[in-house]
Amino acid sequence: MKKGLGYVIAYLAWAVTMALGVWFILIGREGFLGALALYAGDSLQRMWQARFLDKAYVVAVGLLWLVLVIVTEEYLKRGVPQRDLTRRIANVVGPELLLIFVADAGLLLLQGIGGAGWLRWLILGSELVIGIALVLVGRFLHPPKPGEAEFDTPAG
């Protein structure tokens, strides 16, 4: 029963990882397009280069996302029998949130800091704080010793 719950949690975390990856792709592309627009300016040649770089970004980041999805599934699944799932989730989601923070902060800089409302700053702060906290949990949390339960579940 506990092993089944571990696999359910692993696949839910995997779904969250996939969603965060898509979110990073969207925010990163928006920031990248903003930077490319500054690069292109009024030049027709640079505009074509910017279009090519945008397509290359989508293909490259899409392939990296696919690799992340495949590797993360196996990484999280292997954490269930080793009873190391909490640390593994933190090891995956923490850096991903920090990447989202970097992309979001870059987008904010491109759009101008002056027009950002309090909610935008709250989102940026949350991405940073939760990302750092998860990286620290992943770094310093040790797997439970044999005989200890990783998840406290009520006896059924």
Domain edges within the chain: 2-140
Please state the pTM of the whole predicted model: 0.81
pLDDT of 149 > 60? The answer is no
Tens-digit pLDDT profile for residues 81-136: 888 888 999 999 999 999 999 999 998 888 887 777 888 889 999 999 999 999 99
Residue 156 clears pLDDT 80, i.e. is over it: no
Q: How far apart are CA 4 and CA 13, in angstroms?
A: 14
Percentage of residues in the chain having pLDDT higher than 70 = 90
